[in-house]
Amino acid sequence: MLFKEINEQIAELKSGEERYLKLNSIIESLRNDKEKVVAKQAQLKAELDKESNDVEKLEGLSVTNLFYKLFGSYDVKLDQEKQEAFAAHLKYNQCLTELQNIESEIKDRMVEKIKYKNCSNKLQELYNEKIELIKGFELNNTEDTILLTNKIAECKAKLKEIDEALDAGDLAVKGIVGIIDSLKSAQGWGIWDMVGGGLITSMIKHSHINEAKKQSEQVQTYLRMFKNELLDINIDETININIEGFDVFIDYFFDGLISDYFVQSKINSAKKSVDNIYSKVSLLVDQLYALKDNEEQKLSEYNTRLVSILNN
């Protein structure tokens, strides 16, 4: 086997070995996420049952029912309880969807992991073969040659890892921009609604809010993918820690819109939260691109040095 072919295979197997280790970390992270979501599911189920029972008590024959009817606030209280029950129902269903998405991700990662399980053994075999090949060339700088080819393989593996994180980050940024656009539209139509825009204005505003909510469910998956792909990548430590806050972003966002989404201040608060997440994700993506440039420069330098050694 030619020297160039061995190096190419070593680089590919090194990437596979790194991916296998990364997948172990990702799967562990996803399982931790699943535990949290299962606990949240139980809590939301309890809230849903409570809110549903409150509605049933008001609609049936009960002391609570008679009390509110006596004081003339029955219809207002019933509407309030129905709205709270509806909010609890939406949040519970969203949690179920999130759990299904995590379970699907775990399954996909486990399948992907199978592809790389033999990379370490094959890599060691090629390393041994390369050493024997280099000895056959009777090079003066055998140790330097081995060191450089190993560094080249590590750089290529690192670049592949960064590209995978960038793919996830770019998806997250694109999704967040979609939410921001929807909330901007909701803000605009909300102002018209507040000054008496009428039923059509209100319907348009609500359609943009619903679109933002729909987009946020997908963005939650993108953010989780991005967070997991950042595992074991050395970037700014402070920002890397802050990404943990993405897990609670969707809860805040839904609470703001579901509990009283027709109030303009809630739309503004939701947009402010999304803007904050956009800034953090964009900064992380920028750092990844800078890290990629640095790795590409190192790779170019290693290749230049290796060619120089082989030509001497």
CATH 1.20.1330 boundaries in the chain: 142-311
- Give me the pLDDT at residue 260, please: 42
Whole-prediction pTM value?
0.68
Multiple choice CATH, 142-311, 1.10.10, 1.20.1330, 3.40.630, 1.10.287: 1.20.1330
- Give me the pLDDT at residue 74, please: 59
| Helices 63-70 & 74-114 angle (0-180, nearest 10) | 130
* DSSP character at residue 171: H
- Give me the pLDDT at residue 242, please: 45
Spatial distance between the Cα atoms of 243 and 236, rounded to a whole number of angstroms: 11
- The pair of structure tokens assigned to 221 is 């998956």
Spatial distance between the Cα atoms of 14 and 153, rounded to a whole number of angstroms: 6
Q: What angle do CA 283, 288, 291 make, to 5 degrees?
A: 125
CATH 1.10.287.1490 boundaries in the chain: 1-139
Per-residue pLDDT of the chain (312 residues), as tens digits, is: 577 788 888 889 989 999 999 999 999 999 999 999 999 999 999 998 988 887 777 666 555 555 555 555 656 666 677 777 877 888 888 889 889 999 999 999 999 999 999 998 898 888 888 777 776 665 556 777 778 888 888 899 899 999 999 999 999 999 999 888 888 777 655 554 554 555 556 666 667 677 777 778 788 888 888 988 888 776 654 454 344 444 455 555 555 554 444 456 677 777 888 888 888 899 999 999 999 999 999 999 988 888 787 666
Spatial distance between the Cα atoms of 218 and 87, rounded to a whole number of angstroms: 19
Arch. (CATH architecture) of 1-139: Orthogonal Bundle (1.10)
- Give me the pLDDT at residue 44, please: 92
Cβ atoms of 36 and 178 within 8 Å: the answer is: no
* C-alpha count within 13 angstroms, C-beta hemisphere, residue 75: 1
Q: Which one, of 291, 277, 68, lies nearest residue 180 by Cα? A: 277
- The pair of structure tokens assigned to 275 is 């803007």
